[in-house]
Amino acid sequence: MPHPTDGYEDDDLDDLPPPRPVHYAEQALLGALLLHPHRLAEIGVLNAEHFDNYAHGILFAAIRTVPAPDPEQHLTDPAWLNTVLDSARPEAPGLTASYLHTLIQVCPWPKHAAAYARMIRADHARRTLGAHAEGLALAATDATLPNPAATTLAQADALARFLEDLAGQFAPHPGSLPRTPLLPEPPRDAGEEALDEEQFLLASATAHPAELKEMRWLLPEDFALPLHAGLWQCLTALTHRDDPVDPVTVMWEAQHRGLLNANIAPTDLMSLTSTPVGSPEYWGEKVIQRALLARAHAVATRITAYTDDPANTPHQLITGSRRALADLHALRTRWKYASTPAPTTSPARTRASAPARAGPPRTTAPSASRISR
């Protein structure tokens, strides 16, 4: 219920944005329940927090809490309406008796209460999914976290569980993919620290090329700078062919891959691979973690675009968001492989040879011919 200060009656102020469609669905449902309280049993699972308007949620909670009146008496006696209003006012003091009568008047068909409730649940699902995407984006960009990758993936898991829960609430239908036009993915972090980590990786990999064969979890698209991605391809190609690897051979391979141009001289490329610091695995894990966080942020941005588009149905939101998370899962699998220590192998246990069984006691001495053999 994100709008505790929303007005409860329409006004003519031109500077206020028009209410969103769910506002009228909430009014229609509340009007139906105020007029026919017994329809509360027809609307399915619905809670006060599903309402976008805070006061509407409080009023719904009061309707559900106050015992239903006698149907015949309710047609002529407003006592139940007054009891509901008294129950809601401590939490929503702006509610008035006239607004309750307005809700009743604006309800088109009380028998459509279940349909109005479905609309409210759908809009609540969209808003909640947007909140999950916002949490994922914040985790992926928070540099103060002690373990940003773990925190970000925990947010992604929470989002996936929410989508799983939604899938059980809303039936699928044809045309389930969102048609929302998506903006290009946000640019990767190309700050000094990120570029230094990539350069240290390239230099250490040039100095220790044998270790690259164990780093298949790192791909060119994990790099923030395209030039660094191209040099990584040069290194992996040389290693795959068992060719000599050093700054000069890497530069020569880069020439064939079109990395040299007017702005990048051979000495520039060789300097990128000539100052090794640490091990390739260490810097590779740094690079893939940055790629993981960047991908999580891109996924959050895509899901936010889906939730900001009111044309998307709940099932379209579910399908589009699941596909976005699948892109993150593929990179997550590689990151997990990179960051998980290799299991220590213990020597195979050998079974101790069983002692030879004693044979039957000899009754005769062995023959001379057997001794001489």
Q: What is the CATH number of the domain that holds 235?
A: 1.10.860.10
159 is a domain residue: yes
Q: Could you list the residue range(s) of the whole structural domain that residue 57 is in?
A: 21-108
Please tell me whether residues 87 and 183 are part of one structural domain. no
Residues 66-92, mean pLDDT to the nearest whole number: 91
* pLDDT value at 11 more than 90: no
Which comes out higher in pLDDT, residue 104 or 73? 104
353 is a domain residue: no
Chain mean position to CA 276: 36
Residues 24-29, mean pLDDT to the nearest whole number: 97
Please tell me whether residues 180 and 293 are part of one structural domain. yes
Please tell me whether residues 206 and 71 are part of one structural domain. no
- pLDDT tens for each residue of 205-251: 999 999 999 999 999 999 999 999 999 999 999 999 999 999 999 99
Give the pLDDT confidence score for residue 187 in this predicted structure. Answer: 75
Residues 27-39, mean pLDDT to the nearest whole number: 96
Please tell me whether residues 86 and 151 are part of one structural domain. no
Q: Among 136-140, 262-266, 300-304, name the one with the lowest average pLDDT.
A: 262-266
Beta-bridged to residue 227, according to DSSP, are none
* pLDDT value at 355 more than 50: no
* pLDDT value at 322 more than 80: yes
CA-nearest of 161, 165, 162, 141 to 152 is 141
Domain count, the chain: 2
Give the pLDDT confidence score for residue 347 in this predicted structure. Answer: 47
- pLDDT tens for each residue of 185-217: 777 777 899 999 999 999 999 999 999 999 999
242 is a domain residue: yes
Give the pLDDT confidence score for residue 14 in this predicted structure. Answer: 59
Give the pLDDT confidence score for residue 222 in this predicted structure. Answer: 95
C-beta pairs of 268-271 under 8 Å, 24+ apart in sequence: 269/231
336 is a domain residue: yes
Q: Which residues contact 74 (CB under 8 A, 6 or more apart)?
A: 37, 80
3 is a domain residue: no
Please tell me whether residues 66 and 194 are part of one structural domain. no
Give the pLDDT confidence score for residue 362 in this predicted structure. Answer: 39
Beta-bridged to residue 3, according to DSSP, are 53
Q: At which of 108, 130, 147 does a domain end?
A: 108
CA distance 71 to 85: 18
Asked whether the whole model's pTM tops 0.85, one would answer: no
Please tell me whether residues 131 and 279 are part of one structural domain. yes
44 is a domain residue: yes
The distance in angstroms from the start CA to the end CA of the chain is 99
Please tell me whether residues 97 and 178 are part of one structural domain. no
Q: What is the mean pLDDT of the chain?
A: 87
Please tell me whether residues 69 and 154 are part of one structural domain. no
Please tell me whether residues 163 and 285 are part of one structural domain. yes
202 is a domain residue: yes
Please tell me whether residues 83 and 188 are part of one structural domain. no
Please tell me whether residues 185 and 261 are part of one structural domain. yes
CA distance 228 to 195: 9
- The answer to whether 141 and 293 are in contact (CB under 8 A) is yes
373 is a domain residue: no
Give the pLDDT confidence score for residue 12 in this predicted structure. Answer: 53
Please tell me whether residues 93 and 148 are part of one structural domain. no
CA-nearest of 52, 27, 43 to 105 is 27
- Place 366 in a pLDDT band, splitting at 50, 70 and 90: very low
